[in-house]
Amino acid sequence: MNKYLGQLIELQKLDIEIDSFKPKIKEARSELDSILSKHSNTLLKIESLEEEIKDVELKKRKNELHLEELSQKLKELSSKSNAVKSEKEIKALQLEEDIAKEQVDFANDEIERFEKLKEQKKSEIEELKKSYEDLKAELEKIEIQTNTKLEKIEEEKREVYDRKQKLLSSMTQNVIVFYEKIRRWAGNTTVIPVKKQACYGCYMRINDNTYAEVIKGEDITTCPHCGRILYMEHQEEKEEA
Ligand SMILES: [Zn+2]
């Protein structure tokens, strides 16, 4: 086989290996990332509950103010009732007083309801703070484990990069540029085997001349349809021989 072709096949193998590190890193980080997201979600929930409490306090305060107004009004009504004489006036005042008292009851109920709501939200926050602390402890533990895994992957990665660097330094610049240009669109199928006289990248049949060139393997041959670099797999060579 052509020396350059052999180098290109090897180069692609290393590139495929390099690409495989990304999912490996993601996998190694998955547990840590999931706890991290739970951790920050818990914090967000706490913050939003604190906002809700402020809102509840505001509503409660409004009712308290209303209650003050109502008690003022009831005082006024009671002093007025001492002054009025006619039956009609007494009835009208009585009605006003009844309405005000009803409003007092309602405001009191509301205040009580908001107070309960506030307590409920406060205890939710306490629960969340507890799980926040638990997650923090877990996070520290998982972080150590993850870092160990990541360091190992980094080491493997460095080793593959070293091998690639060594290979590249032994290759001709033109060949590398040619490969990189195709790789931009073909990715890990830049150098592709021919099977049953078809390019295994685009699955199109290649003509007899090209096929003969690929079998000879003296030059770098590209697929006439898609432009990928073609090579003959040893096994097939044997089968067809
Ligand atoms: Zn092709």
Residue 10 has φ and ψ, to the nearest 5°, of -65, -40
Q: Which residues contact 38 (CB under 8 A, 6 or more apart)?
A: 135
Among candidate residues 151, 170, 189, the one where a domain is terminated: 170
Query: How far apart, in Å, do the first and last CA atoms of the chain sit?
Result: 16
Based on the domain organization, do 123 and 195 belong to the same domain?
Answer: no
> How many whole angstroms from 11 Cα to the centroid of ligand 1?
19
**Ligand 1: centre distance to CA 220 (Å):** 14
If you measure from the C-alpha of residue 57 to the centroid of ligand 1, how many angstroms do you get, rounded to a whole number?
70
pLDDT digits (tens, 9 = 90+) for 11-54: 999 999 999 999 999 999 999 999 999 999 999 999 999 999 99
109: domain CATH number is 1.10.287.1490
Residues with CB under 5 A from ligand 1 (ion): 199, 201-202, 223, 225-226
Question: What is the reported pLDDT for 1?
Answer: 67
- To which residue do tokens 């969340």 refer? 128
What is the total count of domains within the chain?
2
Domain that holds residue 200: 173-240
Q: How far is the CA of 10 from the centre of ligand 1 (A)?
A: 20
Q: Are residues 156 and 184 in the same domain?
A: no
Task: State mean pLDDT over 201-210.
Answer: 97
Residue 220 lies in a domain: yes
Which residues touch 70 (CB under 8 Å, ≥6 apart)?
100, 103, 104, 107
What is the percentage of the chain residues whose pLDDT exceeds 70? 96
3-state SS string for 82-111: HHCCCHHHHHHHHHHHHHHHHHHHHHHHHH
